[in-house]
Chain A
Amino acid sequence: MYSEKVMDHFANPRNVGVIADADGVGEVGNPVCGDMMTFYIKVKDGRLADVKFQTFGCGAAIAVSSMVSEMAKGKTLDEGLAITNELVAEELGGLPKNKMHCSNLGADALHEAIKNYRDKQAGRAAQGAGAAELHEHEGCACPYCDTALEEGDKTVCRACRVEFEECPSCGGITKKGDAACLHCGKPLGGKN
């Protein structure tokens, strides 16, 4: 189910831990869909001198976090921001389609940490903007049956005929009529 590279990063994750005096911290995810990630960064001369993470989640989530930390270390902040979830998945030799949404959030967490650092530098209070804004939904798959959703029409899965809506809180694609968002757990107001 997972590539060799994913299994390697899962079994031997790089850069696990907490940086007590981190320059920036970024958190994404929630337990409803299973994965939570926290990234810590140290910045020196405009570069990511150290990157550490903690992850609660499945094998993919742990491998993704590990890969992001490896890709980011030593990079400039802008280079760090250029790391996308898609690039991370590519580096890992691919991820199962149904894991692309929930577990592939490592780059988002890193971006949050960089943003947190820049906000602090600029003397701004952390904005705490949700990862959702950074979260892209291009080329996503039905979370129920794994079939890729068609470009331009992400409101319905043609294979299993599930209708979706966008969660107003996190922007994630979730089943229409469900009581709570599949991704962030916020109530949707729909009945189930």
Chain B
Amino acid sequence: MKRTYLDHIAATPVRPEVFEAMRPFFTDVFGNPQSLHSAGQEALAAVDAARDEVAALVGASASEIHFTASGSEANNFAVKGMAVGQQARGRHIVVSAIEHTSVLNSVKALERSGFTSTLVPVDRTGRIDPAEVEKALTKETVLVSVMTANSEVGTVEPVAEIAAVCRSRGVLFHTDAVAAAGNIPVDVKASGVDALSLAGDQFYGPKGTAALYVRKGARILPLIDGGIQEGGRRGGTENVAGIVGLGRAAALARAEMASRTAALVPLRDRLLDELPRRVEHVLVTGSRTDRLPHHASFCIEFVEGEAMLLFLDMKGIAASSGSACTSKALKASHVLLAMGLDHATAQGSLVFSLIDGTTGGDIETLFEAFPPIVERLRGMSPLYTQYLKERGS
């Protein structure tokens, strides 16, 4: 069976060039970058080169890049390290209602030690209003964290405006750019953020590779106390091969971003425009104008996401959903609820995220496979039966 992979937000394939770049660092160039000998210095040179590439991707200086093992780790590092680092000045944090759980749960962890927080609401398209962020700031606020783009609904947030609000009030600003970096232009100097998280598996790099940018001069506590790695802020021997892969993926993303976007946007728009025409009662979730180039998300009314994913998988199509049933916690997506959708509608959440190499044929495959799946599930849905009854009467 032909496989159609439309789940970029879960993982991207590692590009062959990236894998080739990593290969020697497992067996041949295996030295510890902190060693004085040539084997170590060779590894250090590779780590330094990768740091330069990652810095260039986001417009930072190399010394401002700290490698971590996941986007979640980078978010924990930023939120906890910056909030606790400023706690002499205040203990209040502002985050948006649609942040990733690694940000929201970091804030919850801080609340257990006396911090308080304010959740900034979003509008129907998942957009955060910078004025709402400003309203949430108090004299006690020491950190604001708002994501650059949301992976569930694709909305790109007005990060530069929010950063300007924070700067004018002297509050540190972190942005989780895991879904955005490598896919849309991100520039820490132009946007004026103090910290930014990114992850390699969102732009054809290996899993387990990520980084946190921290502006020079911004105070952050170390995440792992140990040696001098990562400026003394994250001890532990460097994941040299992974870091090399992340660097190569960053270089490719920078070189190819425009051409990738040009190829993906028409396919994305076709999905967003045509799916609701091919199937009745389909809502597009997220913003139509400020949107990730590879991201199309929907709520399919009267049916549930997991059931759709299972049937799509039988047709060789991989997608994802924010339905409660697909989450281990069996809780509806906090993102969709924050956008004002009701529980039943949020249950029909479906996300198609395109990768490099997705073709018009893939979209066609989806268009053929999908309507019968929805029809079948609606045929057994008491909610749809009820809807038809009410419409008929």
Contacts and interface: CB of A to CB of B under 8 A. Distances in A.
Interface stretch (B132-140, B184-192, B201-209, B299-307): B299-307
Interface residues of A, number: 38
Given A35-B325, A56-B304, A58-B306, A182 B330 contact: yes
B380 A34 contact: no
B344 interface: yes
Interface stretch (B44-52, B64-72, B164-172, B381-389): B381-389
B203 to A, nearest CB: 28
B381 A34 contact: no
Contact of B344 (A10, A31, A54): A31
A32 B336 CA distance: 13
A16 B325 CA distance: 21
B199 to A, nearest CB: 24
Contact of A31 (B311, B314, B343): B343
Contact of B331 (A10, A59, A182): A182
Nearest to A185: B343
A101 B342 CA distance: 22
Contact of A57 (B325, B331, B379, B384): B325
B330 A62 contact: no
26 contacts: A10-B310, A11-B310, A11-B314, A13-B380, A18-B385, A30-B343, A33-B330, A34-B306, A35-B304, A37-B382, A54-B380, A54-B381, A54-B382, A54-B385, A55-B382, A56-B304, A56-B344, A56-B347, A56-B381, A56-B382, A57-B307, A58-B306, A61-B304, A98-B330, A144-B329, A145-B328
A62 B382 contact: no
Contacts of A31: 342-344, 347, 383
A36 B307 CA distance: 13
A56 B302 contact: yes
A31 B310 CA distance: 19
A171 B322 CA distance: 26
A33 B385 contact: no
A16 B380 contact: yes
A38 interface: yes
A36 B306 contact: no
B155 interface: no
A27 B343 contact: no
Nearest to A59: B310
A114 interface: no
Interface of A: 7, 10-11, 13, 16-18, 27, 30-38, 53-62, 98-99, 101-103, 143-146, 182, 185
B307 A62 contact: yes
A32 B327 CA distance: 13
B220 interface: no
A103 B330 CA distance: 10
B385 A34 contact: no
Contacts of B324: 32-34, 102
A10 B307 contact: yes
A51 to B, nearest CB: 14
A98 B310 contact: no
Contact of A32 (B326, B343, B382): B343
B382 A143 contact: no
Contacts of A101: 330
Contacts of B275: none
Contacts of A27: 382
B197 interface: no
B145 interface: no
Contact of A55 (B314, B326, B331, B380): B380
B371 to A, nearest CB: 17
Nearest to B309: A59
B323 interface: yes
A40 to B, nearest CB: 10
B332 interface: yes
A63 to B, nearest CB: 10
Nearest to A52: B380
Given A13-B380, A27-B382, A185-B343, A56 B303 contact: yes
A60 to B, nearest CB: 8
Interface in B364-385: 379-385
Contact of A56 (B311, B314, B383): B383
